[in-house]
Structure 1
Amino acid sequence: MKASIGIKENYLAEVAHSLGKILADEFVLYTKTRKAHWCVTGADFHSKHLFFEAQYGQLEEIVDTVAERIRSLGHFPPATLKEYLVLTHLTEQSREKNDSIGFIKELLADHESILIHLRENINGYAQAFRDAGTSDYITGLMETHEKMAWMLRAHLEQ
């Protein structure tokens, strides 16, 4: 059954596609954060292992809510690694060292990249697509990424 929520069908499709790209970014960042959790080494291993675990837990929740937002608009989210790698604007990174500072810098750059993308598109949901709900959702998502980026950035301050 089609969603009859006061948004034109073609707008719902465009918003769902846009959210699919965000979902791909979130899933790739989740995976990279999981990798940091699993692979971090060094004298600060234990604290960073726990820190990355908390971060990937937040990202896991984000992945689920983005996918559910797409479903609430009457569409199906991308749900394969192949689709995510095509849709994401993030890159997979192969690391030679597994130090916490390297992981933190990489993850921070990804959070900031996602933040810029969200900020650039937030008004379009409400204005171009008449979808204030998604615009509001993206605002909350942006705030979550701002806090997560701050937590990462704080580890780099001397």
Structure 2
Amino acid sequence: MDIGIKEEDRKNIAQGLSHLLADTYTLYLKTHYFHWNVTGPMFNTLHLMFETQYNELALAVDLVAERIRALDVYAPGTYRDFAKLSSIKESESVPKAQDMIAELVAGHEAVCRTARSVFPSADAASDEATADLLTQRLQTHEKTAWMLRSLLEK
């Protein structure tokens, strides 16, 4: 394979993207879980908002995994892999609606940190395609975190 990025660099970038994939998938599961189980006066608003968010995350998982494959590395895809790679922890119970929102804010912020951690490897290898993907993911996660965070203001 000769796309202008050395094999070692491709593997390094793919490793970072694997962490991003695991964080994204874990956040997808958490958002979907909260969509199913949210209750309270904001039920309808949050139920619909979480649905929009988990649908976007489902598409993002595919984009990240396909970028890993475009770098000629296999993408992780098991719960065990994701549990090892993700910086986002599962919920131990069904939180109250406000706690769900706070957990999702923390999750989106974690994905932002993970995405940012991949930039140095992508930049060093002149991997503009990965940098573009990371930029798009950052924009989405920062905006989503902001929107969720606004629901927590008193």
Contact 1:122-1:139 within 8 A present in 2 as well: no
- What residue is the counterpart of 2:98 in the other structure? 101
Structure 1 unaligned spans of 5+? none
Which deviations, in whole Å up to 9, do the C-alpha atoms of 1:80-128 show, x marking residues without a partner? 1111001111111212x5422110000101111221232243233112x
1:116 paired to 2:113: yes
How far off its partner does 1:33 sit? 0.3
- What residue is the counterpart of 1:16 in the other structure? 14
Identity, in percent, stands at: 40
Contact 2:17-2:118 within 8 A present in 1 as well: no
SS at match of 2:116: helix
Match of residue 54, structure 1, among 46, 49, 52: 52
The TM-score normalised by the length of structure 1 is 0.91
How far off its partner does 1:130 sit? 2.9
SS at match of 1:52: helix
How far off its partner does 1:45 sit? 1.2
Q: What amino acid is aligned across from residue 51 of structure 1 in structure 2?
A: M
- What residue is the counterpart of 1:81 in the other structure? 79
Task: Report which stretch shifted further, 78-87 or 131-140.
Answer: 131-140
CA distance in 2, matches of 1:116, 1:15: 15
RMSD over equivalenced CA pairs, Å:
1.4
Q: What amino acid is aligned across from residue 148 of structure 2 in structure 1?
A: L
1:125 paired to 2:118: no
Within 5 A, what are the aligned runs for 1:127-142? 127=124, 129-142=125-138
How far off its partner does 1:157 sit? 2.1
Q: What amino acid is aligned across from residue 45 of structure 1 in structure 2?
A: F
1:157 paired to 2:153: yes
How far off its partner does 1:48 sit? 0.9
